[in-house]
Structure 1
């Protein structure tokens, strides 16, 4: 481990193979606490590269429990934008499922906010502690299955205590969202920092992802925003391109950012139920924007405006609440 730490301390990035080797040591519990601490903090100080992220994802995926499904989308972001918003990507995943798009949602409980995807799904009475075969059944029946990260990535236990001690974001905040146990090939990933857009695109390209959107909005959200332009890096069949989503061009009349601020799991779940029953507000628009991105990477639509307009029609039709009840009763 020492040679990798020394290289990083010299502000040199590890290659993909070196990163895999280093993470193999970490994930097998062969590094001591000081080495884990030095490795993570030195990476953070240098700035994580796409090869380093991809190497970590490769090893974490390799060691996870496997969920065998095909043709699924994931909408797991990094979190950590510090905005304490409602659970936009989780709501958009449920909206996509009700639109007939298969979603293998990967997520955790709250780390940097009051309410993570695991928390809000529990508050919605959706089971989160499921084994792979149960998730596979759920996706077949209702287009939605949730993989609660701690149940699938037991190798993370070796680094958990040191991550807590560090108390700040580390490379694991970047690796987690890309390490789907379902090995999805299509993904919408929100990132907390614009600088990560291309880094994530290159990392995902290294991992054979077919179609991904990596998003970060000008108002600081790790989501597509209804208030400000959102920068998108698209990775499609190994080609990387840049897109800007402008809510004004879509005719979105959203009012104020405070309308997206969340609270505890019950509060966020209630807000989600309201929009699934057809209540029209800023949260509903934000959820439709992010669902539209899922529909694009699934190749259900070619045009983002068409994908957004269909999501809007669907959520206002009140069909989503009926689909939610199916998921709850599964």
Structure 2
């Protein structure tokens, strides 16, 4: 590791092969805690390159436990985290709205590292039992339209770096990697990222895949469509700037989509949205993100149609039924 750090501290970068090999060494416990923290610190001070990210991703995919979804066409709604905005669980709630709208969702997530409440935190709070048992996951997907893939169960080799990430409490390249290594390999993805630069990295890599994808970044820093201003959307057609009014939705204030003071506040917002009892702002931001997911999987539908489909999922109780069924299966 000393040679690697010397190389990086000279403002040099890694090749794809070097990045892949280093991540495999991290997984095999070749380095101590201080060395891993120093390595992660490099990427807190400068952006990861396309070559490095491709190498890290290649190693993670090689090391992880994959899940065969038995022919289900699935989608993932996932953010990188690391935007420092401390919003409520937008991508997780939007996943249930998408499931209520008829999509099959393989939601990939983890405990919070740089925010207060991650997708794993909130679902565990409601009683969801993490598992990598394929029969359980497929039963959930079939009956509730959604299943949850708790990242550590599918990436056991990363157990050595997890405590270091938690102790650092800052975003690292692992935030960027998370959405890229969904073990179900969904055919469609809505990905929220914390910077335009990161969005372009995703765009370059996903153009080489056969996935239907949309990468979003709100220009005021959010790793999702926050409706607080202009956001960028990247897909196979290219990139474009969009404003909330194009979705028929209002511009919001940051305070209107804040998470509250902890898990209890987050859980209350979560259930209020699914029960159609939330504030208009909370509902609107969920509609925006769920609609983009629906559009990603159904490109022939207009964005306005997709917003209406998402709205019906909430207002007719389909999203809530999806959630309740998932919890019943975990009782």
Determine the structure 2 residue equivalent to 1:42. Answer: 42
CA 163–313 in structure 1, closer or farther in 2 if over 3 Å, else same: closer
Determine the structure 2 residue equivalent to 1:252. Answer: 249
Q: CA RMSD in A?
A: 2.2
Determine the structure 2 residue equivalent to 1:222. Answer: 223
Q: Classify the secondary structure of the residue corresponding to 1:21.
A: helix
Q: Please report how far the alpha carbon of residue 78 of structure 1 lies from its aligned counterpart in structure 2 after TM superposition.
A: 1.0
Contact 1:4 1:18 in 2 (8 A): no
CA 111–46 in structure 1, closer or farther in 2 if over 3 Å, else same: closer
Q: Please report how far the alpha carbon of residue 87 of structure 1 lies from its aligned counterpart in structure 2 after TM superposition.
A: 0.4
Structure 1 Cα separation of the partners of residues 322 and 164 of structure 2? 41
Contact 1:301 1:307 in 2 (8 A): no
Structure 2 Cα separation of the partners of residues 287 and 244 of structure 1? 19
Structure-to-structure mapping, 1:28-67, within 5 angstroms: 28-67=28-67
Structure-to-structure mapping, 1:225-240, within 5 angstroms: 225-234=226-235, 236=236
Q: Confirm whether residue 78 of structure 1 aligns to residue 55 of structure 2.
A: no
Q: Please report how far the alpha carbon of residue 286 of structure 1 lies from its aligned counterpart in structure 2 after TM superposition.
A: 0.7
With normalisation by structure 2, the TM-score equals 0.89
Structure 2 Cα separation of the partners of residues 301 and 121 of structure 1? 32
Structure 2 Cα separation of the partners of residues 211 and 72 of structure 1? 11
Structure 2 Cα separation of the partners of residues 269 and 164 of structure 1? 22
CA 13–306 in structure 1, closer or farther in 2 if over 3 Å, else same: farther
Contact 2:98 2:319 in 1 (8 A): no
Q: Classify the secondary structure of the residue corresponding to 1:252.
A: coil
- Unpaired runs of 5+ in structure 2? none
Determine the structure 2 residue equivalent to 1:282. Answer: 281
- Unpaired runs of 5+ in structure 1? none
Determine the structure 2 residue equivalent to 1:303. Answer: 302
Q: Please report how far the alpha carbon of residue 164 of structure 1 lies from its aligned counterpart in structure 2 after TM superposition.
A: 4.0
Q: Please report how far the alpha carbon of residue 27 of structure 1 lies from its aligned counterpart in structure 2 after TM superposition.
A: 1.6
Contact 1:218 1:231 in 2 (8 A): yes
Contact 2:229 2:251 in 1 (8 A): no
Contact 2:65 2:155 in 1 (8 A): yes
Structure 2 Cα separation of the partners of residues 127 and 325 of structure 1? 14
CA 52–248 in structure 1, closer or farther in 2 if over 3 Å, else same: same
CA 159–211 in structure 1, closer or farther in 2 if over 3 Å, else same: same
Q: Classify the secondary structure of the residue corresponding to 2:259.
A: coil
User: Which residue of 233, 238, 242 maps to 1:241?
Assistant: 238
Contact 2:248 2:304 in 1 (8 A): no
Instruction: Please identify runs of 4+ aligned residues in structure 1 that moved more than 6 A.
Output: none
Of 84-93 and 224-233, deviating more is 224-233
Of 104-113 and 167-176, deviating more is 167-176
Structure 2 Cα separation of the partners of residues 43 and 254 of structure 1? 33
Determine the structure 2 residue equivalent to 1:168. Answer: 170
Determine the structure 1 residue equivalent to 2:90. Answer: 88
Aligned residues: 325
